[in-house]
C-alpha cells in the first residue's frame, strides 16, 4: 500500500511546464522509479503524448507508453505511476479518472490549476502524500 510519493523538484517543474505548454488540453506521462515499502520513489517523469488531446481526459499514446515501460525495465526500474494535468480545474480525480484508476493500480499524480496531488485506488480513491526531494 503506497502512502507517499517522493519526486524530484526538476520533475515537478517538468510536469508544471507540461501543464502550461498544453493548456487548455490535458498533458500526461509516466513516473519511473522504484517502490520501497509504502513509498514510490520517482526518478524520472517521462512525458507521453495525450492521443485524446481533450480538455477533460487523456489517453497515453500506446507506443510511447510501451517504450517508456520497456526502457524503465531495462534500467532495473518500473513505472510507479502516471501523471496528468487538469489545467483549468483542481488536482482531484474526475469521474473518468476514478473509473480508470480502479483498473490501474499505481500512483496517479494530478497537476491542477490549484497545485499537485497524488492518489491511489484502494477500494476507492485515497490521497497519497507528495514529498518534493
84 forms beta bridges with 28, 110
If you search the block for the grid coordinates 507517499, which residue do you land on? 4
26 is catalytic: yes
Give the total residue count for the chain.
133
| Identified catalytic residue from 26, 71, 99, 122 | 26
Angle at 6 between CA 39 and CA 84, to 5 degrees: 105
What amino acid positions are annotated as catalytic residues? 26
Amino acid at each position: 500500500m503506497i502512502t507517499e510519493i517522493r519526486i524530484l523538484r526538476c520533475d515537478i517543474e517538468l510536469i508544471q511546464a507540461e501543464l502550461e505548454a498544453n493548456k487548455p488540453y490535458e498533458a500526461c506521462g509516466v513516473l519511473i522509479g522504484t517502490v520501497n515499502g509504502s513509498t514510490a520513489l520517482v526518478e524520472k517523469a517521462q512525458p507521453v503524448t495525450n492521443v485524446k488531446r481533450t480538455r477533460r481526459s487523456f489517453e497515453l499514446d500506446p507506443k510511447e507508453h510501451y517504450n517508456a515501460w520497456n526502457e524503465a525495465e531495462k534500467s532495473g526500474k518500473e513505472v510507479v505511476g502516471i501523471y496528468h494535468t487538469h489545467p483549468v480545474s483542481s488536482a482531484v480525480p474526475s469521474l473518468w479518472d476514478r473509473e480508470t484508476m480502479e483498473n490501474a493500480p499505481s500512483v496517479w499524480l494530478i497537476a491542477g490549476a490549484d497545485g499537485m496531488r497524488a492518489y491511489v485506488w484502494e477500494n476507492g480513491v485515497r490521497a497519497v502524500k507528495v514529498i518534493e526531494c
